[in-house]
Structure 1
Amino acid sequence: MVSSLHSIFTSIISTEFMIGILGNGFIILVNFIDWVKIRKIFLVDQILTALAISRICLILVFIMHRVPRAFYPSSYLSSNKCILIGLAGIVASYFSTWLATSLSLFYFLKIANFSNRVFLRLKHRVEMVVLVMLLGTLVFLPFTLAVIGWEKHEIYPCEINMTLSFKRSDFEDFSKVIVFTIEGVIPFLASSSFFFLLIFSLRKHLKNMKLNATGFRDSSVKAHIRAMKCVVSFLLLFAIYFLATVMATFYTVEIENKLMLSLAQAIGCIYPSFHSFILILGNGKLRKASLLLLWKLRCT
């Protein structure tokens, strides 16, 4: 029974790996071809391309962590490779999360309509605002890497038969809270704020349309709805990914809990794999390119 469930989870994770690489690779390819043609890449395309690259790196880290551990557990887990791969996964996850958050910020500043003077100044400097946010979040990355690296090297040696029977120190618990807050809670709350502000902006826009007796076939309404779909999909998938990360972090290495780890990995891979297709459908250029590709595949 355990072996069958493990095989099912392995098949699911492998499928998610392939879907994620294809979807994110498509985003990179389309934006690269467009950049070669016009010799210019817009900010939203820059964010989407960087986000797709970080997602592919995150998926590759999952593969590098899972495959050797499954087939060569003794040689892999007794070396420092797991520490390096773990740190690489932290970096990829960090950039993936904050790039997605910056995409939410971009949609908010570009689409929302407020008369506030501060908002208007930010709206006219959207590139600088996004860049400052991304550079500002890099301040926390060295601390996160230091905490995870120390934790893996000193507290969680990579041995397959070791159980977490000891009590965690106060410093360890405090460090984990900070890491999970930086990687999960802060970007989630930021994107949630952008989402609710978009709703408020849309509500205000619809109210103005009603007062001015304007029809509801409006490009701004459509832009609001597309942006909110992208942001809410990120929030839902990221929440699933974050919960899966918590499950994978606090599991005990016992036979029955290896299934819990596989389940957590299968759930966690949904975020970097399937979110790319939501972004493709929410972006006009990528959506047209995907439809053209499907039409060509159908005609062949």
Structure 2
Amino acid sequence: MLEGVMLFLFLAVMVQFFTGVLASGFIVVVSAIDLITHRKMAPLDLLLSCLATSRIILQMCVFLVQLSLLYLVKYSLFVDNITFVLFINELNLWLATWLGVFYCAKIATIPHPFFLWLKMRISRLVPWLILGSVFCSTITAIIHSRETTTIPKQTFTSFFSKNATQFGQINATLLSVFILGLTLPLLIFIVAILLLISSLCNHSWQMKTMVGARESNRYSIISAMLSILLFLFLYFSHYMIVVLMSTQGFQFGRASFQVGMLVFGICLSLHSIVLILGNPKLKQNAKMFIVHCKCCHCEKAWIISRAVPATHHSATKT
């Protein structure tokens, strides 16, 4: 029974990992091809490629932890590099936050001077926002490495220890510093997403009352709202799981931690897929890639089917 559960968890971990890496890698490849073709990269593509790259690295870190829980690698590899994991996790949250702000600035219509200023300059601000995210994440990681290293080490060591019920006491002030670095991008993200949803709702209501408004436009708005709500749900789930882990919320041993890490990895993978489906260019390239794979498979099957009768005929003739 235990071997069956371990096998199921291993397969779930592998599917979650490769799905997330392939989806994020697809975003990076498409952006790289555009950069090579046009010798420049659009601000949105730059932001998406940076987010996808950080997500691939974070997926690898999660995969390492999951293998540790399955006793396939030593957990000390993760604990010893916890500062880097904190850096890449916070960078991922900041980049996802700025992606939400970018969509809000480009799509929403809010008659406010600051919003109009942001709408006109958001594209030029994208490189600075990315650099600012790297800077903030680096500063936070340095603070953690010097003063709050005991928070992640105590937490993760206790999860992997044989006696998972014995937890060290974590200083509340140090834990507050740790969570603050995660909460600030969350608040910015929530404000941007709520403003975007409010704007889309107002636009949908105006189209509903407008004579001759196309139903397809309303459906596209509803589809966009659903994608945004899913984006918000995955982002908040990412935040909550990290907070629960840092505050030792999963205090019932390895099983709860295993489930938390699995859900965390699934959130990362699903969000990369949502980004592809919500971006027209990425979605179109994904369709072309799938069609190309199907054509290659059909061509290979046709060649094999032609080769088999020929081989059978020559063997019969002999």
Q: If the TM-score is normalised by the length of the shorter chain, which range does it land in?
A: 0.7 to 0.9
TM-aligned CA deviation for residue 129 of structure 1 = 4.2
Aligned to 1:264: 260
Aligned to 1:196: 194
Q: How far apart, in 1, do the equivalents of 2:282 and 2:111 lie?
A: 32
- What letter is aligned with 2:42? F
TM-aligned CA deviation for residue 154 of structure 1 = 7.1
Residues 185-212 of structure 1: CA distance to partner in whole angstroms, max 9, x if unpaired? 3333322222221232224334555676
Per mean C-alpha deviation after superposition, the further-off stretch among 221-230 and 5-14 is 221-230
TM-aligned CA deviation for residue 224 of structure 1 = 5.1
Structure 2 gaps of 5+ residues are: 297-318
Count of residue pairs the alignment pairs up: 289
Whether contact under 8 Å (1:35, 1:41) holds in the other structure is yes
Aligned to 1:168: 169
TM-aligned CA deviation for residue 248 of structure 1 = 3.5
**Aligned CA distance change for structure 1 residues 280 and 131 (closer, same or farther; 3 Å):** same
Q: What is the SS of the residue equivalent to 1:124?
A: helix
Whether contact under 8 Å (2:164, 2:253) holds in the other structure is no
Residues 200-240 of structure 1: CA distance to partner in whole angstroms, max 9, x if unpaired? 22243345556764524586x67755653443222111222
TM-aligned CA deviation for residue 20 of structure 1 = 0.7
Q: How far apart, in 2, do the equivalents of 1:294 and 1:154 lie?
A: 43
Q: How far apart, in 2, do the equivalents of 1:15 and 1:188 lie?
A: 28
Is 1:236 the counterpart of 2:233 in the alignment?
yes
Q: What pairs up with 1:18-37 in 2 under 5 angstroms?
A: 18-37=18-37
Whether contact under 8 Å (1:6, 1:259) holds in the other structure is no
Is 1:180 the counterpart of 2:176 in the alignment?
no
- Pick from 62, 75, 82 the counterpart of residue 78 of structure 2: 82
TM-score if structure 1 supplies the norm length? Answer: 0.82
Q: What pairs up with 1:1-300 in 2 under 5 angstroms?
A: 1-67=1-67, 70-73=71-74, 77=76, 81-137=77-133, 138-139=135-136, 141-147=138-144, 150-151=149-150, 155=154, 158=157, 160-161=161-162, 163=164, 165=166, 168-169=169-170, 172-183=171-182, 185-206=183-204, 208-209=206-207, 213=211, 215-216=213-214, 225=222, 227-249=224-246, 250=248, 257-300=253-296
**Aligned CA distance change for structure 1 residues 294 and 203 (closer, same or farther; 3 Å):** same
TM-score if structure 2 supplies the norm length? Answer: 0.78
Whether contact under 8 Å (1:195, 1:228) holds in the other structure is no
- What letter is aligned with 1:215? A
Whether contact under 8 Å (1:198, 1:224) holds in the other structure is no
- What letter is aligned with 1:98? W
Structure exhibiting the larger radius of gyration computed from Cα positions: 2
Residues 262-284 of structure 1: CA distance to partner in whole angstroms, max 9, x if unpaired? 11111110121121111111111
- What letter is aligned with 1:237? L
Whether contact under 8 Å (2:13, 2:66) holds in the other structure is no
Per mean C-alpha deviation after superposition, the further-off stretch among 151-160 and 98-107 is 151-160
Q: How far apart, in 1, do the equivalents of 2:184 and 2:228 lie?
A: 15
- What letter is aligned with 2:289? L
- What letter is aligned with 2:242? T
**Aligned alpha-carbon RMSD (Å):** 3.0
Q: What is the SS of the residue equivalent to 1:295?
A: helix
Q: Percent identity?
A: 24
Whether contact under 8 Å (1:144, 1:179) holds in the other structure is no
